[in-house]
Amino acid sequence: MSKMESKFFQDWFSEIYSHSNSIQTDNLIKISNEIIKSSNNSGKIIVIGNGGSAAIASHVSIDLTKAAGIRAINFNEGSLLTCFSNDYGYESWVKEALEFYADKNDLIVLISSSGQSSNIINGAKKAIEMNLPLITLSGFSKENPLKKMGDINLWVDSSEYNIVESVHQMWLLSVVDYLIKSK
């Protein structure tokens, strides 16, 4: 392996380390408390994203349910996505999914690397309209619209998808592990 190849990976992991440690841990505790509050009030955690963020949503919702014993769902079923996208437009499928599935004590977690995905933004607007607590995770521009919409907004100062998504996953899974150990 050349020095250049080795340096790439050293730099990449340094960047992940730096961004993952940029979080104010108070925000992770607040997220944990919101999850507990929702669960204690018979609510569920709804986690939604696109692409890699959808994979994160799936991983987090499964771990919340199985490992932490907290009801959580995500909307990664192809039939549901294509049905809602066909009937309401792709930009509205998250909003419609929340309309159909969200209940009064639920907590909504929306993930968008860019913070500009129209379906996620519309979902955030719907969560606000439904008066549901909203957690957002985004990256790229500090001024992205999603970052301004949640009750708790986590932001990664990077415009590289894999960096942003890796850090989002680390932050959310740290919350899951915290909840497991706090039982």
Query: pLDDT tens track of the chain, all 183 residues?
Result: 677 788 999 999 999 999 999 999 999 999 999 999 999 999 999 999 999 999 999 999 999 999 999 999 999 999 999 999 999 999 999 999 999 999 999 999 999 999 999 999 999 999 999 999 999 999 999 999 999 999 999 999 999 999 999 999 999 999 999 999 998
Strand order in the sheet with 45-49: 72-74, 45-49, 107-112, 134-138, 152-155
- The rounded distance, in Å, linking the Cα atoms of 3 and 102 is 51
- The rounded distance, in Å, linking the Cα atoms of 142 and 162 is 17
Torsion of CA 28, 29, 32, 37, to 10 degrees: -140
CATH class of the domain defined by 3-182:
alpha beta
Residues written for the chain: 183
Every domain of the chain and the residues it spans: 3-182
- Pull the structure tokens for residue 135: 């957690």
Number of neighbouring beta carbons within 10 Å of residue 134: 23
Q: What are phi and psi of 4, to 5 degrees?
A: -65, -45
- The rounded distance, in Å, linking the Cα atoms of 149 and 68 is 27
- Picking from 152, 122, 99, the residue whose alpha carbon sits closest to that of residue 50 is 122
Residue 98 near residue 122 (C-beta atoms within 8 A): no
